[in-house]
Structure 1
């Protein structure tokens, strides 16, 4: 009975989200309320004192001094309740819950999180509300109760995505009061949904994970009405929400009254005010008991069982999935969408096609094994002298594509829409090897950052003119982080842009000193294609470390790119960029961040390289690519594919002969594999 008592308290509290998370978000729902702003630690001394006590408590807790840490939190809670510092009261309660949790006192942890949840809802603070839901989800996670963990993690996403409509709320410094990061919440939720067979919900979680990772790398990522929908609350939960709604409204109203009373200094409270505070606290306790009795009733228990069965059977609102299928169906080539999710002990694959529900295929490989193979593969690919690339390419094929072969075949797919995860972002999918041929010889590959949130099927304007800049001579040295970098002019870059100008009449060339930000950036939106034959680097770490180098030595950083306006640009090409600078691999968020920033400018697609090919291979590839694209017969994705095949075989495509000779010396994937297309591949 005690077990059910603990669970039911939490389920009821969680369903509060239905009051605030299942409805269409309005702007006022995500703004900080006046009470939250007034409780900012910079505004008054009590807040600063509470903040310091919480920081000391967290530090002591991390050092294993739980008793001492809890004593600090008791002091903080006394000050916050006496002074009506509701924001900091919730923070302190969350941290108390964390210590209870470490002590395996799960009932008390739950009670602390529950109290924080009520305060956050009262304040209308979506950010804190979402993170408190994450704490509760994690509490049930460590107790091996995945259904409840999923339920609460979903509510974290709902509130987080509604808060994303005001990105400044997410970018503001947040106190440390949470068991795991928000990105971990998204990732864990996706994992648990997949393991329960709830693939449609998992697909949505994976989409939103990409957005959350962007927020972690480049703050200020704004959401939209599509992202603000969060993740579906299945229909069977609606009835429970309606039954609880009035009770929860009463609890919030009581909380607001309590906040006003507690803003009166204790020594100035009248006897009537003191009595009213006691009455409110007692009434809230009675309401929680009513919640427990309601949830413990047989009809509600039966309904919860029904919810679990229905969700596992995919009996849920598939509106967003149907929209995604429609987008796939509108593409000129049969396509499937592939999502890998890299977990500690497994690789989880999700494939979506126009005709079927999402399919989940688990692969037994650890993150460590996968990352070691990725690192080896990159080394094999980045040296044309290494002839063993096919071995690791085949191993990665067995993990990433082979489990999906039948699904891809049934869909009749000719194109793979790919949303890579973690370090998979550092390797080209097209360079996987099935034992007989490279993947690019079977499929075109179109990368996207968050498939169901991106418009990847809008036809481009067929106007082939380019603004082509090149860094051909000179030498520039500068420091990025702890690395001293030295970049020399690209030997073949001049020929590269000359070939583009010849192939695409009406194009403009900018070389070396003339290729500078002041002359280049204002002209970009006058051309449907912007081609930059220069060094660029996506650096693990802060966004300001990633850069594009211009011919005069100036650098434009990733954050500066966000200020560009390129609504008329169909394609941006960076032909000599590199990732994993210095051999350091992160989780690939810098690649995701670059693609996002380009998308934010209005440009529909980007071609970038995962490593720099500093010789005639790039010039040959780009010449062939623009020749095929300018014919108007092929999409960008297919033109890139046929170009890569031409380099592999040393022959022109049969149906699209090239007016230039292709050397057979470019067959190694070092030359053709690094170029990936991100965004709209049409």
Structure 2
């Protein structure tokens, strides 16, 4: 981390150091542009090799505003057995198929819209047969797709579905997600926000999903690394599986533990992860064009060259945050 950024983060941490009477799972409501920073990655002034996440092992949560936080606190905890996934609708995310196919195995009832089938009509269709899991019925919504943020027109910010169809923030605000327990946005720029000129609240995709009814959202702060994201999401859901009651704060705890694992992952442990999913990775590579496969292979080689911990940089592990309650 650049020296200037380190000094700035240290000053922020010193405003409310971890030794004060903060709750074991702090909830951060950032002010203005602080919404764009991974505050959970704040370095500790007394232990520069550790960060805020290490100080609060039960997890760090975020909220767009105190009003939204109060709204999510009052929601009942839904079941967590039904999974609806949107898988690589633009067909250009190499490891999206891996993460969704692994994650779906942890749920009782699953519906996955794969690549060209992940259209807006398929996702929003309310007149389909009763056997299909609808957007409004799913307990967990997982979007492994691109997200786009438009600062000058935030309500047009969107998740990109098949045929380049946008699911816009304006449409998300109008959804009914009362049955949802979690929305995971495993995509680029899904957490970027713009400040409402009438208040300090920020408007972005997470706010839209929280307003629509879900109490928890996982979202990214920048264009995330595909392979690191696949590992992180697989471990995140494995951690959630250990908490069948999905109690308050468990989403943040599961995410933060996965982030620490990714940060501290050694080259040897990374190789074990690759071995576990080697067959699936080979299938994914076989489906790529010659040029794209060569890019994927070189990308993996570069990861292996980063010693001793390939994903130690905050760029790889701190880009996702748990928003909500």
TM class by smaller structure: 0.7 to 0.9
CA distance in 1 between counterparts of 2:139 and 2:51 reads 31
The answer to whether 1:451 aligns with 2:66 is yes
Residue in structure 2 matching 1:442, options 36, 45, 55: 55
SS in 2 for 1:467: strand
Residues 505-556 of structure 1: CA distance to partner in whole angstroms, max 9, x if unpaired?
4222111111111111341122110000011122211234311100232112
Relative distance call for 1:544 and 1:411 in structure 2 (3 A) is closer
CA distance in 2 between counterparts of 1:622 and 1:550 reads 20
CA shift at 1:450, angstroms? 2.4
Q: Which residue is 1:645 aligned to?
A: 260
Residues 39-97 of structure 1: CA distance to partner in whole angstroms, max 9, x if unpaired?
xxxxxxxxxxxxxxxxxxxxxxxxxxxxxxxxxxxxxxxxxxxxxxxxxxxxxxxxxxx
CA distance in 2 between counterparts of 1:416 and 1:457 reads 18
Q: Which residue is 1:230 aligned to?
A: none
CA shift at 1:393, angstroms? 4.8
Residues 274-333 of structure 1: CA distance to partner in whole angstroms, max 9, x if unpaired?
xxxxxxxxxxxxxxxxxxxxxxxxxxxxxxxxxxxxxxxxxxxxxxxxxxxxxxxxxxxx
Matches within 5 A, 1:215-614: 389=1, 391-405=3-17, 408-411=18-21, 413-434=23-44, 435-443=48-56, 444-451=59-66, 453-456=70-73, 458=75, 460-471=77-88, 473-474=90-91, 489-522=92-125, 523-578=134-189, 587=195, 592-614=203-225
Q: Would you say the 8 A contact 1:495–1:619 is kept in 2?
A: yes
Q: Which residue is 1:180 aligned to?
A: none
SS in 1 for 2:142: strand
Q: Which residue is 2:322 aligned to?
A: 677
CA distance in 2 between counterparts of 1:539 and 1:490 reads 21
CA shift at 1:576, angstroms? 1.1
Relative distance call for 1:390 and 1:570 in structure 2 (3 A) is farther
CA shift at 1:458, angstroms? 5.0
Relative distance call for 1:671 and 1:538 in structure 2 (3 A) is same
Relative contact order higher in (CA < 8 Å, ≥ 6 apart): 2
SS in 2 for 1:526: coil
SS in 1 for 2:112: strand
CA shift at 1:574, angstroms? 0.9
CA distance in 1 between counterparts of 2:191 and 2:238 reads 31
CA distance in 1 between counterparts of 2:88 and 2:201 reads 23
Q: Would you say the 8 A contact 1:504–1:630 is kept in 2?
A: no
Q: Which residue is 2:312 aligned to?
A: 667
Q: Would you say the 8 A contact 1:629–1:636 is kept in 2?
A: yes
CA distance in 2 between counterparts of 1:519 and 1:508 reads 11
Relative distance call for 1:551 and 1:541 in structure 2 (3 A) is same
Q: 5+ unaligned residues in a row in structure 2: which ranges?
A: 126-133, 267-272, 278-303
- Bigger-Rg structure (1/2): 1
Relative distance call for 1:495 and 1:416 in structure 2 (3 A) is same
TM-score by length of 2: 0.73
Q: Which residue is 2:280 aligned to?
A: none
Q: Would you say the 8 A contact 2:263–2:312 is kept in 1?
A: yes
Residues 199-221 of structure 1: CA distance to partner in whole angstroms, max 9, x if unpaired?
xxxxxxxxxxxxxxxxxxxxxxx
CA distance in 1 between counterparts of 2:32 and 2:258 reads 28
CA shift at 1:394, angstroms? 2.9
Residues 144-202 of structure 1: CA distance to partner in whole angstroms, max 9, x if unpaired?
xxxxxxxxxxxxxxxxxxxxxxxxxxxxxxxxxxxxxxxxxxxxxxxxxxxxxxxxxxx
The answer to whether 1:623 aligns with 2:234 is yes
Relative distance call for 1:660 and 1:636 in structure 2 (3 A) is farther
CA shift at 1:600, angstroms? 2.0
CA shift at 1:454, angstroms? 3.0
Matches within 5 A, 1:94-243: none
Q: Would you say the 8 A contact 1:545–1:557 is kept in 2?
A: yes
CA distance in 1 between counterparts of 2:217 and 2:103 reads 17
Aligned pairs, number: 266
CA shift at 1:449, angstroms? 2.2
Q: Would you say the 8 A contact 2:191–2:219 is kept in 1?
A: no
CA distance in 2 between counterparts of 1:642 and 1:466 reads 22
CA distance in 1 between counterparts of 2:101 and 2:74 reads 31
CA distance in 1 between counterparts of 2:109 and 2:14 reads 45
CA shift at 1:504, angstroms? 2.6
CA distance in 1 between counterparts of 2:108 and 2:209 reads 25
CA distance in 2 between counterparts of 1:575 and 1:528 reads 16
SS in 2 for 1:552: helix
CA shift at 1:579, angstroms? 6.5
